[in-house]
Amino acid sequence: MDPLILSRIQFGANISFHILFPAITIALGWVLLFFKLRYNATGDSAWMRAYFTWVKVFALSFAMGVVSGVTMSFQFGTNWPGYMETVGNIAGPLLAYEVLTAFFLEAAFLGIMLFGFRRVSNRIHTLATVLVAGGTTVSAFWIIALNSWMQTPAGFEMIDGKAHALDWWAVIFNPSMPYRLVHMLLASGLTVSFLIAGCSALRYFYGDRSESMWKALRTGVFAAAILIPIQIFAGDQHGLN
């Protein structure tokens, strides 16, 4: 078989598997923050039980996203060496920014979210949740910036067959980037909303009538109801762009 076709199949399979996990972690971090803030405001331990249930899902999704993302980053060079040689001066820094500003932030404070509730103050635990949630969004920002630039490149010039940035602001905020970022964040929100609602409904089906289950179920359903019309509008605007 043609090596080009094989490269496309391999990369397509990898990225199709990988995107499942960022689609969960991007929004789930903010849902966990919501659970945490509700606990802080009400003192209702059911919110923390919901938090601890779903932080495990977050951690597993984060780990799977890292593993599948590492193999994908290698495939940029092994499957598309000519392309990366051409655009590496732009793609490389954007990928590096994602690692330096987002990945390390998530990895450093996820441990506090998982194991620090009884070991650090409530404020520190809440701060860790804020930083991890923010880190997931920053990660999405840089990856979407690169993906958007690949579709609507701007702010660069070709010198000796290689792309060189002239204006990093134009590179990052290229014409399609804001639309793609909003679309991705909303898509992640919908993914997590239905995931939480569906899993909570399954728990109900198997006899779980706990208050934490009800709180998670309501959160998922209400979030989906709010995000669906917004995503319809955002998707339309993205398509028109």
Query: Do 174 and 57 meet the contact criterion of CB atoms below 8 Å apart?
Result: no
Query: Do 166 and 141 meet the contact criterion of CB atoms below 8 Å apart?
Result: no
* Per-residue exposure over 129-142, b if at least 16 CB sit within 10 Å of its own CB, e if not: bbbbbbbbbbbbbb
Q: Other C-beta atoms within 10 Å of 60: how many? A: 13
Alpha helix segments (H runs only) across the chain? 3-18, 22-42, 45-79, 81-98, 104-115, 122-151, 168-172, 177-205, 211-240
Q: Is the pLDDT of residue 221 over 90?
A: yes
Calculate the alpha carbon distances from 70 to 15, 149, 200, 212 in Å: 11, 21, 32, 35
With CA atoms as reference, report the closest residue to 6 among 91, 67, 80, 85.
Answer: 80
So where are the chain's domains? Answer: 3-240
What are the tens digits of pLDDT across the range 16-46?
999 999 999 999 999 999 999 999 999 999 9
Question: Which residue's entry shows tokens 């997590």?
Answer: 192
What are the tens digits of pLDDT across the range 84-117?
999 989 999 998 998 888 888 888 898 899 888 8
pTM: 0.92
What are the tens digits of pLDDT across the range 140-198?
999 999 999 999 999 999 999 899 999 999 999 999 999 999 999 999 999 999 999 99
Q: Is the pLDDT of residue 239 over 90?
A: no
